[in-house]
Amino acid sequence: MELNIDEDILKAYGFTLDIVNLQQIGSGHINRTYLLSALQNDKQYILQNINVHVFKDPFAIANNIEAVADYLKANNPDYLFPAPIPTLHGELMFAHHGDYWRLLPFVANTMAYDTLSDPKQAYEAAKQFGKLSRLLNHFDTAVLKPTIPGFHNLSWRYEQFTFALSQATAVLKQNANHEIETALRHHFIVDYYKSYEHRKDFPNRVMHHDTKISNVLLNEEDNTGICVIDLDTLMPGKFISDLGDMMRTYLCAYAENETDLNKIKIRLPYFKATVEGYLSEMANILTPTEKELILFSGKYIIYMQALRFLTDYLNGSIYYPIAYPTQNLDRTKNQLKLLNELFENEKILQDIIEECLS
Ligand code: GN1
Ligand code: MG
């Protein structure tokens, strides 16, 4: 495939087209990611184009990452935090005709997965995200800018859904009839979230906000957690954002694109491993209110993701790239089934949480 990357971008980092090999990689919806291999010395890097339709202020991303990187360097110099490599001019991003590029370290001998096949992977991944939160427990969140305003504000996501519903074509509404009804029926999740939102012991923390399994690198031989990646949404938020997205992506053997809903089931050993891995870092930091919300974190994120896919479907699929017209509707069905699984297993999941907390 012709990759068509302007040589100026490479030159900003001291490379030219003839001395590198570029290969598009990754499964993310938003940014374009390439593996850059330098031919002379076999060194590898990640080259990434930031999606400026989604991240309207790329400097907010760069500044947040820099502030956190400086803090971690000062307080935990051994922690592996894959911050961007500066350009030859010392900038954290390269601006090029309205596009923004960055170069990241490639961490050798690691793997990023889209689904998990061993509870140990869940434990290790959850531990990595929990560790990042723990190390940043005393970091002043006011220093960080939201890179996407309202990103995990469930009330706002719900409003976007009802607005999309009011604007959608009759055909799209008809196709999504059942899912719209299910989404409306679960509005109580928004009310529950609102009832906690401003509580004192439900603090803002530095959250990763995209803790899906493909955003953590594990050692390719023994699955030990190595580091988290994809730091675009590192910004203030509630702990339910991170733990919830782990539940969304670690518990089921199949990811959000799976269309056979019979396969959408939660795996209890993966749930236990996720909670244990997260609490191995965060148990002494979470407040009593936060501990009450551990299971809610999964409901909150899975419901929000269902709303986001459904909203996008009703809007004509303008946000999440699709491979076929009804894919965002299928993703909605997938997430609503996963949400239902959480409710059906509520009692046993809460028992597991209590066991992990004791
Ligand atoms: C997007 O681009 P990616 O795959 O890292 C989205 C997340 C969703 C996720 C669903 C900025 O993440 O919030 O949870 O898709 N990121 C943005 O797979 O919208
Ligand atoms: Mg992301």
pLDDT tens by residue, 200-220: 999 999 999 999 999 999 999
Q: Which ligand 1 atom is nearest residue 29's CA? A: 2
| Ligand with an atom nearest the CA of residue 332 | 1
Q: Is 28 in the pocket of ligand 1 (CB under 6 A)?
A: yes
Ligand 1 pocket, residue 33 CB under 6 Å: no
For a ligand 1 pocket test, name from 115, 210, 331 the mutation site with the most ligand atoms within 8 angstroms of its C-beta: 210
Mean pLDDT rounded to a whole number for the chain? 96
CA nearest 237: which of 343, 141, 117? Answer: 141
> Who's near 182: CB < 8 A, 6+ residues apart?
336
Residue 2: per-residue pLDDT:
54
Crossing angle of the two packed helices 327-344 and 294-314, in degrees rounded to 10: 160
Cα–Cα distance list, 230 to 27, 149, 154, 341 (Å): 12, 18, 22, 28
At position 30, the amino acid (one-letter code) is I
Mutate to test the pocket of ligand 1, among 25, 27, 30 (most ligand atoms within 8 A of CB): 30
State the closest ligand 1 atom to the C-alpha of 31, by its place in the atom list counted from 1. 2
List CB contacts of 233: < 8 A, sequence separation 6 or more. Answer: 147, 148, 151, 207, 208, 209, 210
Task: Compute, in angstroms, the gap from residue 210 CA to the centroid of ligand 1.
Answer: 7
Angle ∠(40,44,50) on CA atoms, nearest 5: 125
* pLDDT of 43 strictly over 80: yes
Give the Cα separation of 180 and 162 in Å (integer). Answer: 9
Res 1 pLDDT > 70: no
- Tell me the best of 46, 212, 229 to mutate to test the pocket of ligand 1, counting ligand atoms within 8 Å of each CB and taking the most: 212
What pLDDT is recorded for position 27?
Answer: 80
Question: Is the distance from the beta carbon of residue 305 to the nearest atom of ligand 1 less than 6 Å?
Answer: yes
**How confident is the model at residue 28, as a pLDDT?**
85
Probe ligand 1: pick from 25, 29, 33, max atoms within 8 Å of CB?
A: 29
Cβ pair 246, 253 in contact under 8 A: no
| CA distance readout (Å), 3 to 26, 35, 80 | 15, 12, 30
Q: What is the pLDDT of residue 275?
A: 98
Q: Residue 356's pLDDT is what?
A: 97
pLDDT value at 3 more than 80: no
Q: What's the whole-number mean pLDDT along residues 22-42?
A: 91
Is there an atom of ligand 1 within 6 Å of 30 CB?
yes
Per-residue model confidence (pLDDT) at position 352: 98
pLDDT at residue 40, as a whole number:
87
- 188-205 in b/e form (b: 16+ CB < 10 A) is ebbeebeebeeeeebbeb
Eight-state DSSP code of residue 18: G
The contacts of residue 309 (CB under 8 Å, 6+ apart) are 256, 320, 328, 329, 331, 332, 335
Tell me the average pLDDT across 36-57.
94
Tens of pLDDT, residue by residue over 259-289, are 999 999 999 999 999 999 999 999 999 999 9
Q: Walk across the sheet containing 225-228 and list its strands.
A: 110-111, 216-219, 225-228
Which atom, in ligand 1's list, is nearest to the CA of 54?
11
Residue ranges of domains in the chain, CATH in brackets: 7-56+83-106 (3.30.200.20), 119-357 (3.90.1200.10)
Indicate which ligand has the atom closest to the C-alpha of 56.
1
Q: How far apart are CA 217 and CA 83, in angstroms?
A: 14
Nearest residue to 281 via CA among 127, 169, 145 = 127
Find out whether the beta carbon of 56 lies less than 6 Å from any atom of ligand 1: no
Residues 308-350 pLDDT 10s: 999 999 999 999 999 999 999 999 999 999 999 999 999 999 9
- Region 45-57: mean pLDDT is 95
pLDDT in tens, 114-124: 999 999 999 99
Ligand 1: which atom is nearest the Cα of residue 209? Answer: 13
